[in-house]
């Protein structure tokens, strides 16, 4: 029902109407009317963060672990600029966010007023769409549209900038049904996918002898049903399945058809199978450069099918033979149906030689590492963490670096939405606030941030948020006293000259945890690790776990810059990784 | 199946560019709303696409639609990306590549100020007549000509005016439309 209310009240009402229960924010002068409206209601719970970047990553963790839109509320100027990293992160990883920024009053816009910045200008290229609302009567429509755009098609962050006078102004609120079709008749993302193309894909699959499913974050975004359909299709066909970093969990890590992650730090078998396959079925992945390695040597002999909801992803990096623009879940469902109607047999016999080959690659044990009785190997720490938490409802977030890749390699997932990591942007400082966001959405679950000692210091202050809201997140720091990934690249490319990749003057993480009101645990002995992990899990509150690990471990296997998939550095190649890359490769990232 | 020797934004791309850049005219139908031009131009800048010419104007007031004509130079693969990336923008309705869709009409208008007296002035007038340029302003020592046509025609007219006392030129940029009964 159309109702008279202030702009600030409309914001709250629109959140309620769009099913929002939690928002992550930080107040300031221009946002005060919205905060005042928030104060006078109890439908939406506001989580007060310690830095606006934290709010954006919390909203990302919340969104990724629930499939709902994550919501952020910040003030004008510095509030908005602090949110930019998280918005960019969400854009790169296709995470649905709505970010409400307050703005100086319309009459002051353009006057360099106190805490004014050109928010829509600054965020134009790091949002899926953004709005500056200049009239209160546009506000309800814009809010509903923002939620629709954020969560449909290829999801992404949408920003709504609301000047303070618009927050105070009285106007007519329209509900979701009353605003009718969105103003943007131009926006109608594809959903189902062309049925002829899907049929052609299934026909190719029926003839394939060396097929592989290359899956990505699109399956997670499509919802849990898409993961179900992938499992069904994999079972029906008997094909091997690999995934990008963003797609982990869509296919069970315990399934015999699971090949492990692919790409720069993916398994040998996944990358070799990608290189040698005759049919690549890409579902919801985007041929990112961490995946393809050297493009001109990428899977040279294969026919490529690409399913993506975003047409611009298709053919952007790699030429595909068959494009299907549509939602992964819908396309997978149709593939399952067609496969069933054409045959009821997996291609077990036809692809048996392919599986034999894969078995050979698997035997290289590319995730193997030399364990030690005296120092904790980071891979071992993750394996023990996995064993200690197996069977529980566990959500893992990460920071960015070696620990992130080790987590992806050594912590298998059985379900989608259990793994939150910053893939596209690679944002250090993502994991701790993301864990806070996940814990808000799943108060009874076990939420662990697998962290590096450098990354975690970028957003450490959000531990205070966790303490305030009694969110028992566990921050498991693989402390190598190095920016390990940077150090590894300096070995690889720069003759081991470790320019500023030490973590010097590290805080005492145990005392730091205590200072924040959480618990600190330190462990440097492999023999005591299990007990220490148990202590962490038993503690009902936030924990910083300072796990002192081997300082010079390299993250392997690795496809070095400028090399194709079939030239990986494997773990048995321990000697001089500095000799692997040639002059040209050095220029790459 | 394929050699994948195509250019790419990939950090790993080492092979040389094999496709040849072409000049194409794109017609973009958009919602006329604040910031739309910044979105389009920002996209070209952020992704490193060229803009040779750009014109914008509201074309259907009741529907709030504007038409943007962009002339760009890019390889066929990048052209496809430009079109798809433009279509990703929420207020963009449709993008037509008029060059690859075949026959289209392209027109531009220029205002050209020419100074001088005596024989060069008379010569400028004769040429203006041949090009069907209108005189839209005149003083005893100058003219402003208005000339409309294909960009190449305007180029030639400007070249001819150069030695005859050309003072300054302003051009609208390209307006383009497909031939035949179909609309966008
Ligand atoms: C915000 C940000 N700044 C810089 C980088 C570049 N970078 C990537 S990994 C890394 C080091 C991470 O160190 P740490 O968190 O200790 O993880 P480790 O690699 O040691 O496991 C850096 C500096 C980044 N990804 N993000
Ligand atoms: Mg480290």
Q: Are A127 and A111 in contact (CB under 8 A)?
A: no
Q: Are A407 and A230 in contact (CB under 8 A)?
A: no
* DSSP 8-state symbol, B178: E
Per-residue pLDDT tens digits of chain A, which is 589 residues long:
578 999 999 999 999 999 999 999 999 999 999 999 999 999 999 999 999 999 999 999 999 999 999 999 999 999 999 999 999 999 999 999 999 999 999 999 999 999 999 999 999 999 999 999 999 999 999 999 999 999 999 999 999 999 999 999 999 999 999 987 556 788 989 889 999 999 999 999 999 999 999 999 999 999 999 999 999 999 999 999 999 999 999 999 999 999 999 999 999 999 999 999 999 999 999 999 898 888 888 999 999 999 999 999 999 999 999 999 999 999 999 999 999 999 978 899 999 999 999 999 999 999 999 999 999 999 999 999 999 999 999 999 999 999 999 999 999 999 999 999 999 999 999 999 999 999 999 999 999 999 999 999 999 999 999 999 999 999 999 999 999 999 999 998 899 999 999 988 999 999 999 999 999 999 999 999 999 999 999 999 999 999 999 999 999 999 987 788 888 899 876 566 777 777 666 677 6
Q: Is A487 in the pocket of ligand 1 (CB under 6 A)?
A: no
Query: B61 touching A, CB under 8 A?
Result: no
pLDDT of residue B5: 36
Q: Is A403 in the pocket of ligand 1 (CB under 6 A)?
A: yes
Catalytic residue among A246, A274, A485, A536: A485
A383's tokens: 């394996």
Distance A73 CA to ligand 2 centre (A): 32
Q: Are A328 and A219 in contact (CB under 8 A)?
A: yes
Q: Are A463 and A516 in contact (CB under 8 A)?
A: yes
Distance from A434 to chain B by nearest Cα, in Å?
28
pLDDT of residue B102: 84
pLDDT of residue A182: 59
CB distance A298–B42 less than 8 Å? Answer: no
In this structure, the residue with its CA closest to atom 2 of ligand 1 is A428
pLDDT of residue A396: 98
Query: B4 touching A, CB under 8 A?
Result: yes
Distance A407 CA to ligand 2 centre (A): 13
User: Long-range contacts made by residues A287-291, C-beta under 8 angstroms, separation at least 24?
Assistant: A287/A313, A287/A316, A287/A317, A287/A318, A288/A244, A288/A263, A288/A317, A288/A424, A289/A317, A289/B9, A289/B10, A289/B11, A289/B12, A290/A244, A290/A245, A290/A263, A290/A264, A291/A214, A291/A244, A291/A262, A291/A263, A291/A264
Residue A20 DSSP SS3: coil
- Which of chain B's residues have a Cβ under 8 Å away from the Cβ of A589? 11
Ligand nearest to the CA of A454: 1
* DSSP 8-state symbol, A135: S
Angstrom distance (rounded) from CA B26 to CA B54: 10
- Which of chain B's residues have a Cβ under 8 Å away from the Cβ of A321? 1-2
pLDDT of residue A573: 64
Among partner residues B12, B15, B88, which is closest to A561 by beta-carbon distance? Answer: B12
3-state secondary structure A407-443: HHHHCCCCCCCCEECCCCCCCCCCHHHHHHHHHHHCC
DSSP calls for A506-556 = ---HHHHHHHHTSEEEEE--GGGHHHHHHHHHH-SS-EEEEEEB-SS----
User: Could you tell me which of A451, A443, A385, A379 has the C-alpha nearest to residue A421?
Assistant: A451
Q: Are A99 and A159 in contact (CB under 8 A)?
A: yes
Angstrom distance (rounded) from CA B114 to CA A542: 78
pLDDT of residue A455: 98
Residue B116 DSSP SS3: coil
Distance A499 CA to ligand 2 centre (A): 15
Q: Are A351 and A210 in contact (CB under 8 A)?
A: yes
**Closest residue, chain A, to B46 (C-alpha):** A125
Query: B16 touching A, CB under 8 A?
Result: no
A510's tokens: 């145990």
- Which of chain A's residues have a Cβ under 8 Å away from the Cβ of B84? 311-312
**Closest residue, chain A, to B16 (C-alpha):** A296
Q: Which of A54, A376, A399, A428 for a ligand 1 pocket mutation test, highest count of atoms within 8 Å of Cβ? A: A428
Would you say the pTM of this structure is higher than 0.90?
yes
Ligand nearest to the CA of A401: 1
Angstrom distance (rounded) from CA A69 to CA A157: 9
**Residue A106 backbone zone (phi > 0: left; psi -120 to 50: alpha; other: beta):** alpha
User: Could you tell me which of A263, A468, A127, A278 has the C-alpha nearest to residue B43?
Assistant: A127
DSSP calls for A168-225 = HSEEEE--TTTT-S-S-TT-----S--HHHHHHHHHHHHH-SSEEEEE-HHHHHH-HH
**Closest residue, chain A, to B47 (C-alpha):** A125
Angstrom distance (rounded) from CA A214 to CA A280: 7
User: Could you tell me which of A449, A457, A463 has the C-alpha nearest to residue A481?
Assistant: A457
pLDDT of residue B12: 41
Angstrom distance (rounded) from CA B85 to CA B40: 10
Low-confidence ranges of chain B (pLDDT < 70): 1-17
Query: B5 touching A, CB under 8 A?
Result: yes
User: Could you tell me which of A402, A2, A414 has the C-alpha nearest to residue A224?
Assistant: A414
Catalytic residue among A52, A60, A145, A269: A52
Distance A264 CA to ligand 1 centre (A): 16
Q: At what angle do helices B36-46 and B76-88 cross, to 10 degrees?
A: 140
Angstrom distance (rounded) from CA A269 to CA A566: 10
pLDDT of residue A576: 64
Distance A486 CA to ligand 1 centre (A): 7
Ligand nearest to the CA of A399: 1
Mutate to test the interface with B, among A161, A296, A561 (most CBs of B within 10 A): A296
Angstrom distance (rounded) from CA A548 to CA A578: 26
Please, which residues bridge with residue A482 across strands?
Answer: A502
ipTM for this model: 0.90
Q: Is A431 in the pocket of ligand 1 (CB under 6 A)?
A: no
Q: Which residues contact A194 (CB under 8 A, 6 or more apart)?
A: A324, A325, A326
DSSP calls for A344-396 = S---TTTTHHHHHHHHHHHTT-TT-----SSSB-HHHHHHHHHHHHTTS-EEE
The yes-or-no answer on residue A535 being catalytic is no
Angstrom distance (rounded) from CA A90 to CA A96: 7
Residue B39 DSSP SS3: helix
């Amino acid at each position: 029902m159309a109702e008279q209310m202030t702009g600030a009240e409309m914001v709250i009402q629109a959140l309620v109407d769009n099913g929002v229960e939690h928002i992550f924010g930080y107040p300031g002068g221009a946002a005060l009317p919205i905060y005042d409206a928030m104060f006078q209601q109890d439908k939406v719970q506001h989580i007060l963060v310690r830095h606006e970047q934290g709010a954006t990553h919390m909203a990302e963790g919340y969104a990724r672990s629930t499939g709902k839109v994550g919501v952020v509320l910040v003030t004008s100027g510095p509030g908005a600029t602090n949110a930019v990293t998280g918005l960019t992160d969400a854009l790169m990883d296709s995470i649905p966010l709505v970010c409400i920024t307050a703005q100086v009053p319309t009459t002051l816009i353009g006057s360099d007023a106190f805490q004014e910045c050109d928010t829509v200008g600054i965020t134009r290229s790091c949002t899926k769409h953004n709005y500056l609302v200049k009239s209160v009567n546009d506000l309800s429509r814009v809010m509903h549209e923002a939620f629709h755009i954020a969560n449909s098609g290829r999801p992404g962050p949408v920003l709504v900038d609301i000047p303070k006078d618009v927050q105070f102004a009285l106007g007519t609120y329209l509900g979701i049904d009353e605003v009718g079709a969105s103003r943007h008749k131009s926006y109608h993302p594809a959903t189902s996918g062309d049925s002829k193309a899907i049929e052609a894909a299934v026909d190719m699959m029926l003839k394939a002898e060396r097929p592989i499913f290359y899956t990505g974050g699109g399956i997670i975004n499509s919802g849990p049903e898409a993961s179900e359909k992938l499992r069904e299709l994999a079972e029906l066909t008997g094909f091997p399945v690999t995934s990008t970093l963003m797609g982990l969990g869509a296919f069970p890590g315990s399934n015999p058809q699971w090949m492990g992650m692919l790409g720069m730090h993916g398994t040998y078998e996944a990358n070799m199978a990608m290189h040698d396959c005759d049919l690549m079925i890409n579902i919801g992945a985007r041929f990112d450069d961490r995946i393809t390695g050297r493009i001109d040597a990428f899977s040279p002999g294969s026919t490529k099918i690409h399913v993506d909801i975003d047409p611009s992803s298709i053919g952007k990096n790699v030429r595909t033979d068959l494009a299907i623009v549509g939602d992964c879940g819908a396309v997978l469902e149709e593939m399952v149906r067609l496969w069933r109607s054409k045959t009821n047999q997996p291609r077990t016999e036809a692809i048996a030689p392919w599986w034999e080959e894969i078995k050979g690659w698997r035997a290289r044990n590319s995730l193997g590492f030399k364990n030690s009785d005296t120092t904790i190997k980071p891979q071992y720490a993750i394996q023990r963490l996995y064993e200690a938490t197996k069977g529980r409802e566990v959500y893992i977030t990460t920071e960015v670096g070696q620990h992130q890749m080790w987590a992806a390699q050594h912590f298998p997932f059985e379900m989608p939405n259990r793994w939150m990591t910053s893939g596209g942007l690679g944002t250090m400082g993502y994991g701790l606030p993301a864990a806070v966001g996940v814990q808000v959405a799943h108060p009874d679950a076990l939420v662990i941030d697998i962290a590096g000692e450098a990354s975690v210091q970028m957003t450490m202050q959000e531990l205070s948020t966790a303490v305030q809201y009694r969110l028992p997140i566990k921050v498991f720091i693989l402390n190598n006293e190095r920016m390990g990934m940077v150090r590894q690249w300096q070995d690889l490319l720069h003759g081991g000259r470790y320019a500023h990749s030490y973590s010097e003057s590290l805080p005492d993480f145990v005392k730091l945890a205590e200072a924040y009101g959480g618990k600190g645990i330190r462990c440097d002995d492999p023999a005591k690790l299990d007990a220490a992990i148990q202590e962490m899990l038993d503690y009902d509150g936030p924990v910083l776990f300072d796990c002192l690990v081997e300082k010079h471990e390299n993250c392997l296997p690795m496809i070095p810059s400028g090399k194709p998939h079939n030239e990986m550095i494997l773990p048995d190649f321990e000697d001089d990784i500095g000799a692997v890359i040639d002059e040209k490769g050095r220029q790459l990232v | 199946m394929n050699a994948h020797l195509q250019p790419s934004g990939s950090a790993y791309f080492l092979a040389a560019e094999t496709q040849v850049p072409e000049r194409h005219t794109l017609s973009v139908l958009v919602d006329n709303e604040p910031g739309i031009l910044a979105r389009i131009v920002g996209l070209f800048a952020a992704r490193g696409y060229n803009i040779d010419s750009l014109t914008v104007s509201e074309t259907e007031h009741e529907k709030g639609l504007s038409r943007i004509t962009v002339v760009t130079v890019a390889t066929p693969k990048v052209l496809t990306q430009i079109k798809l990336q433009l279509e990703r923008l929420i207020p963009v309705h449709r993008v037509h590549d008029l060059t690859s869709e075949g026959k289209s009409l392209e027109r531009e208008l220029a205002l050209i100020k020419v100074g001088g007296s005596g024989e060069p002035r008379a010569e400028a007038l004769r040429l203006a007549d041949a090009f069907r340029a209108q005189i839209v302003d005149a003083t005893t020592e100058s003219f402003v000509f208005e000339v409309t046509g294909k960009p190449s025609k305007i180029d030639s007219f400007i070249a001819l005016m150069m030695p005859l006392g050309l003072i300054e030129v302003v051009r609208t940029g390209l307006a383009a439309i497909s031939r035949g009964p179909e609309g966008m």
